[in-house]
Amino acid sequence: MNISYRLADISARLGGRILGDAEVRIFQIATLEKAQPDQISFLTNSKYRAQLACTRAGAVILGEADAEATDLPRIVSGNPYAYFARVSALLNPLPEAKPGIHSSATVGAGAKIDPTASIAAMAAIGDGVTVGAFSVIGEGCCIGANTVIGRHARLYPHVVIYHNCVIGDNLIAHSGAVIGSDGFGIAMDEGRWVKIPQIGRVVIGNDVEIGANTTIDRGALDDTVIEDGVKLDNQIQVAHNVRIGAHTAIAGCAGIAGSAVIGRYCLIGGGARILGHLELADYVEIAAHTLVGKSIRETGSYAAIFPFSKTEDWRRNAVHLRHLDELAKRVKALEKQIESLKGKEQ
């Protein structure tokens, strides 16, 4: 059965100001280029206004600045991109999971599974685990002993959570995510590495999303902490004892070394690297592929990316880079000579 809503229904649920026919019925959301008359589209950047003239969408979502840019039925919002996200969620709800424990799942002694929770086929729930109301544990997931999972969590197939972790409400963890594996703790002794037991936990707040194949290591002594509202993309490595502040978003393939502290509302680009024991202030933005080698104490946007160029040009520039220190010393020496000559002239 297809879900549909009138514009009036959408506005009643999500707010926003309707201009035009409020009775238009919407079945799905789409781009301006591909939308059909039973779909709603969105404009989040005024430079794409021209697309409004040829769109076939039945309605659009846009901001106050573009409210009169079309005669189509429309919802005007202060944040059209966020409004689009909420409309998409309304029109595309997650499939409902059937409460209960599949016959092929295993549940350890003393585990507490809320009757409204769903435990799928081949899932393994360890001793003393708690699974909160309406949570969904997908096929093949493995939950270690004494882990606590809050309400409305959704673990997609083959998520692994090690022992003693604490997970808040509304977690989304995608397939292959590993939470609570050992941190990379080793000590050299007489030519051999000695493993340092990782006895901390991973503690995750509410409304966190963890992408596919992202790994979050448990703390060596204290906990690794992911605060409320953090969004982690796919294939991110979070090392032991890291703390990520509330509502920070990190794009794919980023790596955060041990004991780094990331502030609140930070944005970290794909492939960025943050070295261990550093601190980032709140509201810091890190560009993709940037290596952060020292703490950032001040809010702002930071980048350390050498632009690509033709290979032969890059090689010549690389040679020059090797001699930058020598060049800087020569410049300083010349500056001193110039100052000395000015002094003699006076």
pLDDT tens for each residue of 72-105: 999 999 999 999 999 999 999 998 889 999 999 9
Residue 1 has pLDDT above 70, yes or no: no
- pLDDT value for 308: 85
Fold of 100-302: UDP N-Acetylglucosamine Acyltransferase; domain 1 (2.160.10)
- pLDDT value for 48: 84
Q: What is the pLDDT of residues 223-261, one digit of tens each?
A: 999 999 999 999 999 999 999 999 999 999 999 999 999
Q: Which residue did the predictor score with more confidence, 308 or 259?
A: 259
Whether the CB-CB separation of 240 and 223 falls below 8 Å is answered with no
Which is the catalytic residue, given 102, 152, 240, 289? 240
As a whole number of angstroms, the distance between CA 332 and CA 166 comes to: 56
Q: What is the pLDDT of residues 144-172, one digit of tens each?
A: 999 999 999 999 999 999 999 999 999 99
Q: Provide the whole-model pTM.
A: 0.90
Ranges of beta strands (E only) in 27-147 are 28-29, 39-42, 59-62, 74-76, 100-101, 106-107, 112-113, 118-119, 124-125, 130-131, 136-137, 142-143
174 part of the active site: no
- pLDDT value for 343: 73
Please compute the mean of the pLDDT values over residues 129-143 and round it to a whole number.
Answer: 98
At residue 88, what are phi and psi to the nearest 5 degrees? -60, -40
Bridge partners (DSSP) listed for residue 118: 100, 136
CATH superfamily label, 5-91: MurE/MurF, N-terminal domain (3.40.1390.10)
Q: What is the pLDDT of residues 62-73, one digit of tens each?
A: 999 999 999 999
* Long-range contact set of residues 12-17: C-beta below 8 Å, sequence gap at least 24: 13/90, 14/83, 14/86, 14/87, 14/90, 15/77, 16/61, 16/75, 16/76, 16/77, 16/83, 17/67, 17/75, 17/76, 17/77
